[in-house]
A and B are shown apart, each in its own frame.
Chain A
Amino acid sequence: MEKDFIIAGFGGQGVLLAGEVLANGFMLDDKNVTWYPSYGAEMRGGTVNCSIAMADEEVSAVQKSDADFIIVLNQASFDKFTSMVKKGGTIIVNTSLAIEKRIRNDINYIFYPITKMAEEKLQNIKMANILSLGILSKVSGLISLETLEKALNNVIPPHRRNLIPKNLEALKLGYEYDLLKV
């Protein structure tokens, strides 16, 4: 089995970090995994994304042209990445910063006001990235909440340990996204 993921947003939303947590999680699950960031002549506030490939065997290619699961945290990423969702794949859309619109009928859409929920429930919009991983965990069934929690501990540096409880809350909140009325 091989699955591909893209996490996209604008600079500052923590999409690279979220990708690193996800990739760490797959590593902890003993999968082969690669993480590759978009990098180039980027500007502050510009779009950022990273792709993660997870496989039981060797990862077939580090950079691919489509993905099974794509998280988009802003409108520009939603516009750019919708066409890159594999047929039957899923796109998770942050409707706090993107307009709910279905232009394809061969993919699954998950619309959720990720930033708004991070702000209201966690009092911190910076938690949107980790909250979205909670949603991904639930929607994909490919990585457990427990593994993501362990992965967070791997990624967050020692001098930021105080942030872990809040991030765990974010993961859980995301995982229960479908239970909450928004």
Chain B
Amino acid sequence: MAVDCLTDKKVLIKGNYAIANAAVLAGCQCYFGYPITPQSEIGEFMSGKMQELGRAYVSAESELAAINMTIGACATGVKAMSSSSSCAVSLMQEALSYATSDQLPVVLVSVMRGGPGLGNIYPSQGDYFQATKGGGNGDYKLIVLAPSTVQECVDLTYKAFYLAQKYRNPTVLLADGLLGQMMEPVTFKPYPYPEIDNSDWALDGAKERDGRIIRSYAPLADNQCVFLERLYNKYKLIEENETEWEEKDTQGADIVLVSFGSTSRNVKTAAKILRLKGIKAGILRPVTLFPFPSKRLQELSNTVKKFVVVEVNMGQMVYDVKLAVNGKVPVELVHKPVGAPPSPEEIAKRIEELL
């Protein structure tokens, strides 16, 4: 069931509706999208709500059109977003690369399903690489936020809009079919972040000022070098300021289980099971996938004997954990190719086998 925007009452709501409702509350003025399971409820909600509020909703002719419309809207300085899933997010990669070089605060909600190719519509975490490493050309990063509960779908949608504006960088909310389709009680507090002044760059009509151009083109080699240095200084700043993770029972832990998104729910329970058996297991859950909590993992590698990465794909985030740990202690993978996450009991059992 969809709810009517702001309410301080607890409501039971689907992840997709929660995301859409939060986007509206975050002040999203334009939504552009093309339906695809398992995120179609986002567009469905927007199609009614945006019109009701006098904001823009466009059911685009394709995902390419939707993301490029989002770029156009963002260039005018308004908050704008698109949402899609896996194989259709693939179609948006070129535009995301452009949006990073145009430095536009595009917000994209990516609700992962099975891949590669058309794949299937079941939950998956197979687009970790797509979101964090990108399929577009050139050196760029997207800010990537990974909710693990429906409440976090709300909170991190707010944050996605804020960080996108603050750093003028495309930001992805990386959910999955399980989070999109499940219901859980949430509360919608008002958008908690300050509004960012964009009057120095937005294309809001050149009244009493010179015209501006936002472009992704530097014909002189040196200009591009300067631009990339500046872009990466920004990414450094994002890493310093915005890295977020959840950590539990890592002090004195022998093993730390690392997981993100919906899978981390089961991993938390698995850690409980292991601790009951006397195995000192802690958990670390990256909330931001870029910036990735590499520094913290590095610190932990001084005291921890082993890291186990649990994910629903063929092993993607495990590489970032390995990079962070840099060979200091073993990093193992427990995974399932696609579908709902493995049960806590199965995760615990497979981890015991690794010890």
A residues whose Cβ falls under 8 Å from a Cβ of B:
20, 23-24, 27, 32-37, 39-41, 58-65, 154-155, 157
Contact = CB atoms under 8 A, between A and B. Distances in A.
A115 B119 CA distance: 38
16 contacts: A20-B1, A27-B185, A32-B185, A39-B37, A39-B121, A41-B121, A58-B265, A58-B268, A59-B265, A60-B266, A60-B272, A61-B269, A61-B343, A61-B344, A62-B340, A63-B340
Contacts of B181: 36-37, 39
A23 B120 CA distance: 28
Given A60-B269, A62-B262, 12 more contacts: A20-B183, A34-B182, A34-B183, A36-B181, A37-B181, A40-B121, A40-B122, A60-B344, A61-B265, A62-B182, A63-B341, A65-B343
- How big is chain B's contact interface, by range? 20 to 34
* Most chain B beta-carbon contacts within 10 A, residue among A35, A40, A61: A61
Contacts of A24: 12
B266 A157 contact: no
Contacts of B315: none
A37 B1 CA distance: 13
Nearest to A61: B266
A39 B341 CA distance: 15
Contacts of B1: 20, 155, 157
A20 B12 contact: yes
Contacts of B122: 40
B43 to A, nearest CB: 17
A39 B181 CA distance: 9
Nearest to A58: B268
A97 B11 CA distance: 34
Interface in B1-43: 1, 10-12, 37-38
A103 B193 CA distance: 58
A36 B182 contact: yes
Interface string B333-355: 00000001101100000000000
Contact of B183 (A32, A35, A41, A63): A35
Contact of B182 (A32, A35, A40, A41): A35
Contacts of B341: 61, 63
B185 A36 contact: no
B195 interface: no
Contacts of B10: 27
A36 B178 CA distance: 8
A27 B183 CA distance: 11
A157 to B, nearest CB: 7
B343 A154 contact: no
Interface string B172-193: 0000011001111100000000
A23 B183 contact: yes
A154 B7 CA distance: 13
Contacts of B121: 39-41
B291 to A, nearest CB: 26
Nearest to A158: B4
Contacts of B12: 20, 23-24, 27, 33, 35, 154
B185 A33 contact: yes
Nearest to B182: A36
Contacts of A37: 181
Contacts of A40: 120-122
Contacts of A157: 1
* Most chain B beta-carbon contacts within 10 A, residue among A27, A33, A37, A41: A27
Nearest to A19: B183
Nearest to B14: A35
Interface string B104-120: 00000000000000001
A153 to B, nearest CB: 12
A41 B341 CA distance: 19
A39 B38 contact: yes
A20 B178 CA distance: 16
A157 B1 CA distance: 8
Top 5 closest A-B pairs, CB basis? A35-B183, A60-B269, A63-B340, A27-B185, A36-B182
Given A61-B343, A64-B343, A35 B184 contact: yes
Nearest to B179: A62
B184 A34 contact: yes
Contacts of B182: 34-36, 62
Contacts of A33: 12, 184-185
Nearest to A64: B343
A24 B11 CA distance: 8
Nearest to A30: B10
Contacts of B268: 58
* Most chain B beta-carbon contacts within 10 A, residue among A27, A40, A60: A60
Contacts of B262: 62
